[in-house]
Amino acid sequence: MLKSLRGGRILKDKRIIILILVLSLIFPLVSLGKRINIEQNNRGVELVIDSDDFQNLAYQEGVSYYELLKELKSAGVTTVSIPFMTWQDLENKNYVGIFSYREIGRLILSGNVDPLISALYRQGSPSETYIIVRPGVDISSSIDVLKQLIGYGRISLFGYNSNQVYIVKTTPSYLRGLPGGSIDFSLLETVKSLGYRVVFRPSNTPYIKPETISEILNIITPYKDITTALVFDGTEVLGYPDYLEDTANYLKEEDLGIAAVEFSRQKGIDVLTEHLGGRIVRLHSILPGEVYKLKSEDVLRRVIRAIRERNIRLIYMRPIYTLTEEDSIIEENLQLITSIKAELEKEGFNLGKASFFEKWGGFRFANISMGIGIASVILLMGFDILPYSVLSILVVISLLAGLGTTILPFAIFRKLLALGIASIFPIFPIWLVLFNGREEKVLYRVIKIVLLSLIGGVLVGGGLSSTDFMLQINQFMGVKVAHIIPFILLFIVIYLKDREPVNNILIYPLNILSFLVILLLAGGALFYIARTGNISSEAVWGFELKMRSALEQLMLVRPRTQEFLIGYPAIFLAIEFLKTKRELGIIFGFVSLITPISIINSFCHIHTPIILTLFRTFNGFILGCIVGYLVLLIVRELLKFIFSHTFST
């Protein structure tokens, strides 16, 4: 077949290959159809409040926490977080008193004549810590957990009249940091009576044991009908590092799920998500350090964007303290929650119970299509620059990779194939349309570049679509690589096919102007690479954030800045200068690679709903064409002015 691609039949043969490539989209389109169905059937969202923070807010504002909970429920809050208490929490709530031997001695020196204190001091020792239980309080479950954590032989009961004191062989500071094995049951019953759902927040400890895990989680089971998920406190999940499987087994037996906190990789979360399959829900959190910086409108946009664009279904709210419209902090927070509820309902989401995504391993045959996609680009790009023997080997390897990944659908194989598509496919539309295409209208050529780029996006999006990628348990790997390799490959292809203008660029005399251009291009390249992947909003310039917000309100889905401000204008300028000044056209042709790279990369974000990705691509095309035409007109007028001024003088 390859030999038939010579001579006058090459265009026809290219069309055949493109036809095969288009037909191979059937499998990834089926995959994307299933993904759309899963995304559309999961519209439940929960607004979760941090119980401690809002209780503190009620105290600061001088109102009843019960009344505040009632108002929050009416505004739209669905869920309350219930933390597992530490021994410090038990002490703060006055359930127990924790004293060292020295502190007992100080009490006696200060004139304390309590017989219990005197008895403890007479027979105590400096290595002991004393837990004095308030009368009427039952901490037996907390003591059981403590025995499992530090050893049964390190705890003893000291009874004095009707008083209970536990003597513990440890320091008070260490004891206060250990899990208390209990929750605030009075708060739990209150929120349940008000119709709230709950998320429990257990924490891990280095001394965790399988029996401790059961003891802690047994507290949850009577309330699992109103429990959406567990949100682990701290940097580790319960059971890390040695007993993660015990935690996973318990959760599976009790049909409980966990929340994966966005932008936070808690230690052990990967193991739990692997064992629990699809029983994961994505959570976005307003962090404690942000509540004094953010305004209501900032939080509103941030929450809506997270739910709409990143499959977030739990929003963890803390009270904000910046007044904008209301006269009190409480009213400001109530108005914010009311606004969030209204916006979500407007977009078709339901405030209530967040459901888990349907467990789906993806459509295996979409992997074959990724292999066909890579093989097709190798054929179309390699006709005139590679020996047929090398071409044949590369094509066979690509097809076998697609077939092998279909038979053995391990995530790493799918990621490698997707990286192959994202790395090689962007050069295909630029080479075929800009450098090796017919003379056609500018807009028609831009449309062809976008459509060919969409083929690469569909191949990646269909191949990677599955529940684990939608929940970002797994994700596309090699983001920066996929932004660098296309430039290297395009340079190689152009150099092998059209060496003279490339050499002219490389040997261009170095003067002040060319040096500044080199600095500009190098700085732009470094900035471009640094900005790839997920970056914090703090790393984005203020005016850009305002522009993003304005575009989001105007177009619903914000197009990518690099596309409409750089990629599309570069396409227009490349088309213009490849006809007159080929060296300059080649430079702009390289820059125009940003467009197909960005389009395909958008489809690599599987946690973003596919419909939204399509809207983002369409909006980027519309805005990019407008900016591109404006830039082209400005450049043309500028060149006319320069030439007319030069000739007139």
- Residue 530: what pLDDT? 60
| Higher local confidence (pLDDT), 241 or 1 | 241
- Residue 234: what pLDDT? 84
Q: What is the pLDDT of residues 512-563, one digit of tens each?
A: 655 566 666 666 666 566 656 555 454 455 566 677 677 777 777 888 888 9
Share the mean pLDDT of the chain.
86
Q: What is the pLDDT of residues 247-276, one digit of tens each?
A: 999 998 888 899 999 888 888 888 888 888
Mean pLDDT of 29-36: 96
Mean pLDDT of 2-9: 44
| Higher local confidence (pLDDT), 167 or 7 | 167
- Residue 8: what pLDDT? 41
Q: What is the pTM of this model?
A: 0.84
CA–CA gap between residue 36 and residue 210 (Å, rounded)? 40
Class of domain 43-88+185-351: alpha beta
- How would you class 612 by CB atoms within 10 Å of its CB: exposed for 0-12, middle for 13-18, buried for 19 or more? middle
- Residue 509: what pLDDT? 65
Q: Specify whether the CB–CB gap between 537 and 284 falls below 8 A.
A: no
Assess whether pLDDT exceeds 90 at residue 45: yes
Q: What is the pLDDT of residues 488-512, one digit of tens each?
A: 998 888 888 877 776 666 666 666 6
Is 94-176 a CATH 3.30.200 domain? yes
Per CATH, 43-88+185-351 and 94-176 having the same topology is answered no
Lowest-pLDDT range of 2-11, 33-42, 180-189, 601-610? 2-11
Q: What is the pLDDT of residues 590-630, one digit of tens each?
A: 899 999 999 999 999 999 999 999 999 999 999 999 999 99
Cα 578 to Cα 127, 158, 202, 502, 627, distances in angstroms? 83, 91, 63, 13, 20
- Residue 516: what pLDDT? 65
- Nearest by Cα to 329 from 81, 73, 63, 49: 63
- Nearest by Cα to 472 from 370, 386, 357: 357
Lowest-pLDDT range of 128-132, 325-329, 406-410, 521-525? 521-525
Whether a cis peptide bond, with omega within 30° of 0, leads into 126 is no
- Residue 7: what pLDDT? 41
Assess whether pLDDT exceeds 50 at residue 3: no
3-state SS, residue 511: coil
Neighbours of 641 (CB within 10 A): 10
Q: Give me 196's structure tokens.
A: 């709230």
Mean pLDDT of 365-394: 89
Give percent above pLDDT 90 in the chain: 47
Mean pLDDT of 579-588: 85
Neighbours of 455 (CB within 10 A): 23
- Residue 510: what pLDDT? 63
- Nearest by Cα to 230 from 53, 84, 85: 84
Assess whether pLDDT exceeds 70 at residue 134: yes
- Nearest by Cα to 407 from 455, 358, 378, 371: 371
Q: Which helix (H) or strand (E) holds 100?
A: strand 96-100
Provide the residue type at 518 as one letter: I
Q: What is the pLDDT of residues 457-466, one digit of tens each?
A: 999 999 999 9
- Residue 495: what pLDDT? 82
Mean pLDDT of 359-384: 91
Assess whether pLDDT exceeds 60 at residue 19: yes
Q: What is the pLDDT of residues 111-127, one digit of tens each?
A: 767 888 888 888 888 88
Give 27's contacts (C-beta < 8 A, 6+ positions apart): 363, 365, 366, 368, 369, 462
Q: What is the pLDDT of residues 394-437, one digit of tens each?
A: 999 999 999 999 998 788 999 999 999 999 999 999 998 988 76
- Residue 545: what pLDDT? 64
- Residue 1: what pLDDT? 42
Domain ranges for the chain, please list them: 2-39+360-648, 43-88+185-351, 94-176
